Amino acid sequence: MQERPLSGVRVLDLTNVLAGPYCSYQLMLLGAEVVKIEVPGQGDLARRLGPDPELNEAGLGTSFLAQNAGKKSVELDLKSPADRDAFVDLVRGADVLLENFRAGTLARLGFGWPRLRELNPRLVYCAISGFGQTGPMSQAPAYDQIIQGLSGMMSVTGTPATAPLRVGFPVCDTVGGLAAALHISAALAGRARTGQGAYLDVSMLEAAISAMGWTISNYLVSGVAPEPMGDQNATAAPSGTFDTADGPLNIAANRQRQFETLCALVDRPELVTDPRFADREARKRHRGELNDELNTALRRRPAAEWERILASAGVPAARVATVPQTLDLDQLSHRGFLTDLPFPGSDGRTLRVAGSGVLHDGAPLPPVAPPPLLGEQNAEREALAARWAATAEDVRVRGPHE
């Protein structure tokens, strides 16, 4: 089995639901040992979220199963003196502490950054919250939909008639989790040089705005406020969703050569010399007319046939798939994106989970164990803390560069 880049890194994960657990799932895939600290008898709220009532009742909601494979679960009540002592033992040996409470919650429990740094100067402490730990909105509650709306994301999603619309999955939670995982990895790399930990304050709002890229920069640079355009691309035409004989097809002929190839393949070569469509800016001005011409031509064949014809000629094109169709793609199977694991509790069922989308030295880094039952590692708590402490002491004695 290949050595994973974060092998030996120890993560205390106090997070719930999605942004934090998604972050620690990425760290686990990269080799970190992740221990979820869960409220006794309750655990991660995601354990009770999903479309299957029986799984929710068992504390294995599909929302939990999606991003908690390969982790351990220990129940601790941070308001209990005995459990607080056990938590301190784990903090002393941890490399990373991750939480997504409302700003200041962990500090009110007696574990703010000054206290954590005193316990473990090498600790990387990452706090994910809706708006960050400081500022006038820091205490406001936030879920993904709140961030989608406030970030401006919903205002540009949909058409002028349907916007604002929520993106169909919790994209702000996911982006926040990815930003946290990136900066944790960077802080660990920095610590390898300095021996000192770091305090990371992740704002989901700011991460979401950063991820909006051109939508934000077009306004900052040009002063033009973005508007919803449905399935069309504001920067190019033809670039969007088109009609075929049996369903929608996405085409992104953003370059002149791609446009010329597209016109030839749909038997409309005269569109290339039409003054309305002669260059990128002209095509953008006459987008609707161009789309009408292409839709008429594309309705002659089914989407899968056009996908094969256009993509093989270098024109970016693909069907608009459903989630089941996507997960059945041969491409995902070829790259080992999905992994089959024993279902938690070993009842004979199989659990299929997603990976990270990155091949490491040509191979995926799949999870190696199913998600934990609530408190599954409670009996191992003392041994785990002792092992972490011994490893941390060994590193402290050797120094950061050895």
Which residues 6+ apart lie within 8 Å of 358 measured at CB?
364, 365
* DSSP conformational letter for 363: B
Q: Rounded CA gap, 203 and 100, in Å? A: 10
For CA atoms 205, 208, 213, 219, the dihedral sign is negative
Q: Rounded CA gap, 290 and 285, in Å? A: 10
Cβ neighbours of 96 (radius 10 Å)? 26
Q: Rounded CA gap, 392 and 94, in Å? A: 8
The DSSP string of 195-239 is ---EEEEEEHHHHHHHHTTHHHHHHHHH-PPP---TT--TT-SSE
From 248, 227, 321, 256, select the one nearest 291 (Cα to Cα).
Answer: 248
User: Coil, helix or strand for 37?
Assistant: strand
Strands 350-354, 338-342: parallel, antiparallel or unpaired by DSSP?
A: antiparallel
The CA distances from residue 390 to 90, 116, 397, in Å, are: 11, 18, 11
The answer to whether residues 66 and 365 touch, using CB atoms and an 8 Å cutoff, is no
Q: Rounded CA gap, 383 and 364, in Å? A: 31
- Which residue among 89, 95, 173, 243 is the active-site one? 173
From 101, 107, 113, 177, select the one nearest 139 (Cα to Cα).
Answer: 101
Main-chain dihedrals φ then ψ at residue 200, nearest 5 degrees: -110, 120
13 catalytic? Reply is no
Give all strands (DSSP E) within 44-182, no chain letters: 72-75, 96-99, 124-129
| DSSP bridge partners of 327 | none
Give all strands (DSSP E) within 244-366, no chain letters: 248-252, 317-319, 338-342, 350-354
Known catalytic residues?
Answer: 173
